[in-house]
Amino acid sequence: MKLETLLRESAQSILDEAFSDLQRSQVHHYEKAGEAFTRERLGNLFELVVTAIETRSLTSLSAYADRIATQRFDAGFDISEVQMAFNSLEEAMWRRVVAAEPPNELAEAIGLLSTVLGFGKDTVARKYVTLASQRHVPSLDLKALFAGTEAAGTPTE
């Protein structure tokens, strides 16, 4: 069975599982936005992922990821919240694929799924970093990760 067919036939259970996972993660802005908003957004992302797998084109997903990154950033969502939405959908999709795909087709299916979702997450992250570089965002303050590096280039005596 084609991967996109398997995913579409399992759409409702995948989306229910992804929503439950996201809800357990207690992501503030998605909780505040409500169930209808969150389910709709997961459904939109699901459809874009499946379409990208089907068409072997990331164009629509790229535009969507860029757009939602800007929208969520402007609405005050932390990048971890948006990534958590991607991750919850990815995990639910993986579980379905691993349970249903024959072992000889599993590597390709997981490769396709990982490529598409990884691209989406990367696009969101790059956009967040671009937006954050234009103003201070505590969740993206990387200076603490590199404390002490200013002396790294200086020879010691």
The pLDDT, as a whole number, for residue 152 is 47
Write out pLDDT tens, residues 54-74: 999 999 999 999 999 999 899
Dist CA 117 CA 35 (whole Å): 22
Burial-class residue 80 by CB neighbours within 10 Å (0-12, 13-18, 19+): exposed
Helix (H, G, I), strand (E, B) or coil at 10: coil
CATH classification code of 3-135: 1.10.490.10
Residue with tokens 């995948």: 14
* pLDDT tier, 154 (very low <50, low <70, confident <90, very high otherwise): very low
Dist CA 115 CA 120 (whole Å): 9
Write out pLDDT tens, residues 87-127: 999 999 999 999 999 999 999 999 999 999 999 999 999 99
Which residues are within 8 A (CB) of 8 and not within 5 positions of it... i.e. 6 or more apart? 50
The pLDDT, as a whole number, for residue 146 is 60
Could you count the other beta carbons within 10 Å of the beta carbon of residue 62? Answer: 16
Helix then strand count (H, E) for the chain reads 7, 0
Kindly list the domain boundaries of the chain, sorted by start residue. 3-135
